[in-house]
Structure 1
Amino acid sequence: MTEFDIVGSEAIREGVATDAYFQRTEDTLRYAGKNPRVVAEVTADQFPDGEFEVFAGVKDAAALLEGHDVDVDAMHEGQLFDGGPVMRIEGDYLEFARLETSLLGFLSHASGCATAALEARVAAPETPVYSFGARHVHPSIAAMVERSALVAGVDGFSHVAAGEILGKEAVGTMPHALLIAFGRGNQADAFRAFDEAVPEDVPRIALCDTYGDETEEVLRAVETLGDRLDSVRLDTTSSRRGNFRHIAREVRWELDARGHDDVGIFVSGGLGPAELRNLRDVVDGFGVGGYISNANPVDFALDIVEVNGEPAAKRGKLSGVKEVYRTADGGHHVGLRGTPGPTDGDSLLEPLIRDGELVREFDLDAATRRAREDAERVGFGDE
């Protein structure tokens, strides 16, 4: 028994974090003296359908496959795809069969979170967006959620331990619990204590919707902190929210009327792309939680497409080794390896592992740039 219900990294690396039928498969193949040379491909959709998603989780997938006698080609982290393989593995089947469950988990969940985060990012391209959803997922995957959000281009995240893993500093100021701990009517005391307690480099962002009207609490924060107040945050419960856009505009009006046009307005609480589009011209930043962290994983599958040099596939899947391309107009194309691709197409599957050795470096900032550029190229999120 373990203290927490967490599958450890050792079990993942050794292939114990697998579905039982892969163990049965290994036993059967070894009993029969079979270990074919195969090519397997990770795909979500066989043909392009125009519904692009973001490829993420590659760093963890590479760590899983490294050290195994296989060759792996894959898209780069942050690349967008809408059909055909995103990863290709070539080697003796028993070299990687037991790793399939964890491999797909690494890629599927991260790609789902990154895609949702990109949807939020393009909905408010000129406004800061922060990932606040780690509380909705098992803490063991918080760093995955936050890295995936960063790949999509969000401006920061809230989870401290994830920040230590990713080498980034978490952001955040005060929760409702802080205001409640000081008691109803004592919001000014809470604001003042916060200002005196936290380091100077932490923005003074006052949460202004705990007990009373948002505008009333905002003005109380201004009176308490004066010029030290950077911004206010509205996190009004949806059942009490009414017209959130109107509330934000009213707060802005009252701040400006009192000469506090330099105080920003941040909003959070159950926001998704539709809300970001509706509010992006009247607020200065967003905290997006469950929309990113609770995203559905991409439904990747790993399928053998070649056995001992001959095309092979199950019903409904396309046999033969494939290449994928991006053309200048943003098109995504899939074709058989060895056949001519689009004349203006860039091949998207590039070496990741050769003979078990990692041949690619991972740069989070580069992945973010790639996602942004590819999103523009393919028209991701265009209304």
Structure 2
Amino acid sequence: MDSPSLDFDVVSPGAIRDGRATDAYFAHTEETLRHADRNPHVVAEVTADQFPTGEFELLAGVKDAAALLEGHDVDVDAIPEGTLFDGGPVLRIEGDYLAFARLETSLLGFLSHASGCATAALECRRAAPDSTVLSFGARHVHPAATAMVERSALLGGFDGFSHVAAGELLGREASGTMPHALLICFGRGQQEAAWQAFDEATPESVPRIALCDTYSDEKDEAIRAVEALGDRLSGIRLDTTGSRRGDFRHIIREVKWELDARGLDDVDVFLSGGLGPASLRELRDVADGFGVGGYVSNADPVDFALDIVEVDGEPVSKRGKLSGAKSVYRTADGAHHVGLRDRDGPEDAESLLEPVLRDGELVAEFSIDDAAERALADADRTGFGDE
């Protein structure tokens, strides 16, 4: 008899679209409203802070939010992905409440998690603006969330990522060369054999970047990699665990000295392993690129909430929230301004909320590259990540 097979603990896209990926009290609310024959026309807003705080975060996840709400009889406006925000609504829904009530849980999850990862990515990008920065954090999250992490990293300005399936979904090729496991499979003292086998087996399109800290001193393995691969070597990577690093900056400078002494100052040095904005800022002048993992993938989600602010044309709110449909503006100095939708905004200010859905039909376009450009421009404008 065949043994029963296990399945993954993954909520299906169908369950998300159907509204079954929801908190139970939304199902009870829907039942109660239908029982009472009540379905008011509402305006609901997604916010993290009611008033501008000066502490900016980067908006991501709007594409998935739009996919969730598409086909439901609602109008949706949102701040474009890749926009820095610090208060007021980032997304507004208008329609009969039962058209979207069950979708709130998934909607907030799409926006909250992606925005947290994108914000962390932009912090890293700003810390090393001239370096190659790749996302290596897929191993820290549930596999079902990897495409979200990698897309958020790109949106925050990263140059690439490591996850193959995420790349297939996003239409981007994953980056990466070799792990310590490859060197260990060849055995101690056989690093040259591992590097040479990689060179022989791997397509020419993959750069020859040798991992140089598996068994011995980083400088020693870097020199050996140079001798093993010669001018086919395009770079080395140091992934030394923090407990063994000592003065990591000094180690990197030693390695680069030895490369230069052999006429190989064009061999790039890449770093990975427990890196964040502080370490990127410290090492950006001695390294050519970085792989950042947990700092992005493990970022805290942005604490978004969805609140009804208007019912049948009348402003309402629960305690602690601001009633009435609102608009959000960016002023020339980079600051935000929140005001009621039916009032004039500040003079010469840019209105940030833009149409996403009309009567459930998609009217917006989504581009990772455009969002990433917007994020970097916004960071310059607001001083985000400046030290």
TM range (shorter): over 0.9
Matching of residue 120 in structure 1 with residue 127 in structure 2: no
Within 5 Å, which residues of 2 pair with 1:279-290? 279-290=283-294
Q: Could you tell me how far 1:70 is from its partner in structure 2? A: 0.3
- State the partner residue of 2:368: 364
**Structure 2 stretches of 5 or more lacking a match?**
none
Q: State how far apart, in whole Å, the 1-side matches of 2:74 and 2:106 are.
A: 16
The worse-fitting range, judged by mean Cα deviation, of 339-348 and 272-281 is 339-348
- Pick the aligned partner of 1:213 from 213, 217, 232: 217
Q: What secondary structure sits across from 1:4 in the alignment?
A: coil
Q: What residue in structure 2 maps to residue 47 of structure 1?
A: 51
Q: What letter matches 2:26 in structure 1?
A: F
Q: What SS does the aligned partner of 2:270 have?
A: strand
Q: 1:320 deviation in Å?
A: 0.6
Residue 257 (structure 1) shift: 1.1
Q: Matched residues in 1 for 2:237 and 2:157: separation? A: 22
Residue number in structure 2 paired with 1:180: 184
Query: Aligned residue for 1:341?
Result: 345
Matched letter for residue 162 of structure 1? A
| Distance in 1 of aligned mates of 2:362 and 2:336 | 27
Distance 1:333 1:248 in 2: 46
Match of 1:198 among 185, 202, 219: 202
> What residue number does 2:62 align with?
58
Aligned to 2:235: 231
In 1, distance between residues paired with 2:217 and 2:198? Answer: 21
Q: Distance in 1 between matches of 2:263 and 2:368?
A: 40
Q: Secondary structure at the match of 1:304?
A: strand
Q: Secondary structure at the match of 1:61?
A: helix
* Map 1:1-383 → 2, pairs under 5 A: 3-383=7-387
Using the alignment, how far apart are the partners of 1:120 and 1:2 within structure 2? 39
> What letter matches 1:320 in structure 2?
G
Residue 258 of structure 1 deviates from its aligned partner by 1.4
Give 1:203 deviation, angstroms: 0.3
Between the aligned partners of 2:66 and 2:7, the Cα distance in structure 1 is 28
Secondary structure (helix, strand or coil) at the match of 1:318 reads coil
Q: What CA deviation, in whole Å up to 9, does each residue of 1:331-358 have, x standing for no partner?
A: 1110111112111110000100000100
Give distance in 1, aligned partners of 2:249 and 2:54. Answer: 32
Q: Deviations over 1:55-94 (max 9, x none)?
A: 1001100000000000000011101100000000000000
Letter in 2 for 1:79: T
Question: How far did 1:12 drift?
Answer: 0.2
- Within 1, Cα distance between the matches of 2:51 and 2:216? 54
- In the TM superposition, what is the alpha-carbon distance from 1:361 to its structure 2 partner? 1.0
Amino acid at match of 2:351: S
1:23 Cα deviation after fit: 0.4
For residue 234 of structure 1, report the CA deviation from its aligned partner.
Answer: 0.3
Which residue identity does 1:341 align to in structure 2? Answer: G
SS at match of 1:109: helix
Identity, % of aligned pairs? 76
Aligned amino acid, residue 72 of structure 2: H
Q: Secondary structure at the match of 1:339?
A: coil
Q: What amino acid is aligned across from residue 270 of structure 1 in structure 2?
A: G
For 2:224 and 2:213, how far apart are their aligned partners in 1?
A: 11
Say which SS state the counterpart of residue 101 (structure 1) adopts. helix
> C-alpha root-mean-square deviation of aligned residues, in Å?
0.8
Amino acid at match of 2:299: A
Secondary structure of the residue aligned to 1:267 is strand
Instruction: State the Cα distance separating 1:2 from its structure 2 match.
Output: 6.9
SS in 2 for 1:72: strand
Displacement of 1:253 after TM fit? 0.7
Give 1:327 shift.
1.0
What is the one-letter code of the residue matched to 2:44?
A
**Aligned AA for 2:107?**
L
CA deviation after TM superposition for structure 1 residue 47, in Å:
0.6
Give the alignment's TM-score, normalised by structure 1.
0.99
Matches of 1:2 and 1:266, distance apart in 2: 39
Task: Provide the secondary structure at the position in 1 that maps to 2:147.
Answer: helix
- The CA deviation string for residues 272-302 of structure 1, in whole angstroms up to 9 with x for no partner, is 0000000000000000000000000000000
The 2-side partners of 1:310 and 1:250 are apart by: 68
**Structure 1 stretches lacking a partner, 5+ long:** none
Q: Distance in 2 between matches of 1:54 and 1:358?
A: 22
